[in-house]
């Protein structure tokens, strides 16, 4: 017999429960090996350097070089570098990203779940997105923590998201955090945090380098906006800092060159050396393109940079920490995330 109009229908006994209706935020950063040893670093580099967004060379040419040379020589050196920054929490990048997720969770409250993932290594984007969907989070804000957009960072993270979604029959609704290189909240957070650190630096630096991660120059000519985004961030930040530090010169550089191709210039390491040789005695380096401290900030800039500066005549050198989970950094992140969650919460 048919049920009467208006009578609620019970779920059939053979129909599994399907949790839905919940909202999540997934913070995403670049990645890290699982341990500071050659084996773990080799696995990580193999995944990272096989990404065609990262190395835009035909695999027929690149893979023999990667497998035959790079992965047999570089992991030991990189493992040593990682061992210099690894601490009791493990990888600094993973530990800080986890803290950012925890701090954002406290700010957003129980109505939203905040989790985190890495583009390369663990925890993977696919594993986290799948777990969130299985738990009933059918609306996910996917948030790559890259202020400046690049195909090798933001785009490849979204690629990994798309690959994960392609494996799902029932996909969640997804939004992505846009690049925020010129967002007022980002510039204000950088200004406040860098000012705080510089006021605790004695003597005050003559020069502040704003060091961004480098990219091959050809990416600029192929239409990648990364270089332009970095330059705009630098201009806005320099203008914001000028009233507090009128006698400090601010320059923009690019770090972490790799291979023989021409990269974006000027190079951070060469600029540090040149400034020391030219008579600069006090220098600070900030890395506004990094949302969290990692190997490239803690080892390359803080340790190698100091050695380069002091070995060439410099005296006072400081590598400033990234926004990390500071109050300024979390205020900014909360502002960005709440904006993108509009209509969902």
- Predicted confidence at residue 288, as pLDDT, reads 98
- Predicted confidence at residue 92, as pLDDT, reads 97
Residues belonging to the chain: 345
What is the pTM (predicted TM-score) of this model? 0.93
Question: What are the residues whose beta carbons fall under 8 Å from the beta carbon of 50, sequence distance 6 or more?
Answer: 63, 66
Give, for all 345 residues of the chain, the pLDDT tens digit: 455 666 666 767 676 666 778 999 999 999 999 999 999 999 999 999 999 999 999 999 999 999 999 999 999 999 999 999 999 999 999 999 999 999 999 999 999 999 999 999 999 999 999 999 999 999 999 999 999 999 999 999 999 999 999 999 999 999 999 999 999 999 999 999 999 999 999 999 999 999 999 999 999 999 999 999 999 999 999 999 999 999 999 999 999 988 888 999 999 999 999 999 999 999 999 999 999 999 999 999 999 999 999 999 999 999 999 999 999 999 999 999 999 999 999
- Predicted confidence at residue 309, as pLDDT, reads 98
Question: What are the residues whose beta carbons fall under 8 Å from the beta carbon of 300, sequence distance 6 or more?
Answer: 81, 255, 256
What letter would DSSP give residue 12? P
- Predicted confidence at residue 7, as pLDDT, reads 64
* Longest Cα–Cα distance in the chain: 94
- Predicted confidence at residue 172, as pLDDT, reads 97
What letter would DSSP give residue 320? P
- Predicted confidence at residue 260, as pLDDT, reads 81
Tell me which H or E stretch contains 271. Answer: helix 268-277
> How many whole angstroms separate alpha carbon 297 and alpha carbon 290?
8
- Predicted confidence at residue 135, as pLDDT, reads 96
CATH number listed for the domain at residues 184-319 = 3.40.50.1400
Q: Are strands 112-121 and 249-255 parallel, antiparallel or unpaired?
A: unpaired
First-to-last C-alpha distance (Å) of the chain:
42
Phi-psi region of 98 (alpha: psi -120 to 50; beta: other; left: phi over 0): alpha
Q: Which of 294, 3, 34, 45 is nearest to 145 (CA)?
A: 294
Q: Are 116 and 98 in contact (CB under 8 A)?
A: yes
Q: Are 41 and 79 in contact (CB under 8 A)?
A: yes
CATH number listed for the domain at residues 22-179+329-340 = 3.40.50.1400
160 alpha-carbon distance from chain centroid:
15
- Predicted confidence at residue 3, as pLDDT, reads 53
Domain spans in the chain, listed from the N-terminal domain onward: 22-179+329-340, 184-319
């Amino acid at each position: 017999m048919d049920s009467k109009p208006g009578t609620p229908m019970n779920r059939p006994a053979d129909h599994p429960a399907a949790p839905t209706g919940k909202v999540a935020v997934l913070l995403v950063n670049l990645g890290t090996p699982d341990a500071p040893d050659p084996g773990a670093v080799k696995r990580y580099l193999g995944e990272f350097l096989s990404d065609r967004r990262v190395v835009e060379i035909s695999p027929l040419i690149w893979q023999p070089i990667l497998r035959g040379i790079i992965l047999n020589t570089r992991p030991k050196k990189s493992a040593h570098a990682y061992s210099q920054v690894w601490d009791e929490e493990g990888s600094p990048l993973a530990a800080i990203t986890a803290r950012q997720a925890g701090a954002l969770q406290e700010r957003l409250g129980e109505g939203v779940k905040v989790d985190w993932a890495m583009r390369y290594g663990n925890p993977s984007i696919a594993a986290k997105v799948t777990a969130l969907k299985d738990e009933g989070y059918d609306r996910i804000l996917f948030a790559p923590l890259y202020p400046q957009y690049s195909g090798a960072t933001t785009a490849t993270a979204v690629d990994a998201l798309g690959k994960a979604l392609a494996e799902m029959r029932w996909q969640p609704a997804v939004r992505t955090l846009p690049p925020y290189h010129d967002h007022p909240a980002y510039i204000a957070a950088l200004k406040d945090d860098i000012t705080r650190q510089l006021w605790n630096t004695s003597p005050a630096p003559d020069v502040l380098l704003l060091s961004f991660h480098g990219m091959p120059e050809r990416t600029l000519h192929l239409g990648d906006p990364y270089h332009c985004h970095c330059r705009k961030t630098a201009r806005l930040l320099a203008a914001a800092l000028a009233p507090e530090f009128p006698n400090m010169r601010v320059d923009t550089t690019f770090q972490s060159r790799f291979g023989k191709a021409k990269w974006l210039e000027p190079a951070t390491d060469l600029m540090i050396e040149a400034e020391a040789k030219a008579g600069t005695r006090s220098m600070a380096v900030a890395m506004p393109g990094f949302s969290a401290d990692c190997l490239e900030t803690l080892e390359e800039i803080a340790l190698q940079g100091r050695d380069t500066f002091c070995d060439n005549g410099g005296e006072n050198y400081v590598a400033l920490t990234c926004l990390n989970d500071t109050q300024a950094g979390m205020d900014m992140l909360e502002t960005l995330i709440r904006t993108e969650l509009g209509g969902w919460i």
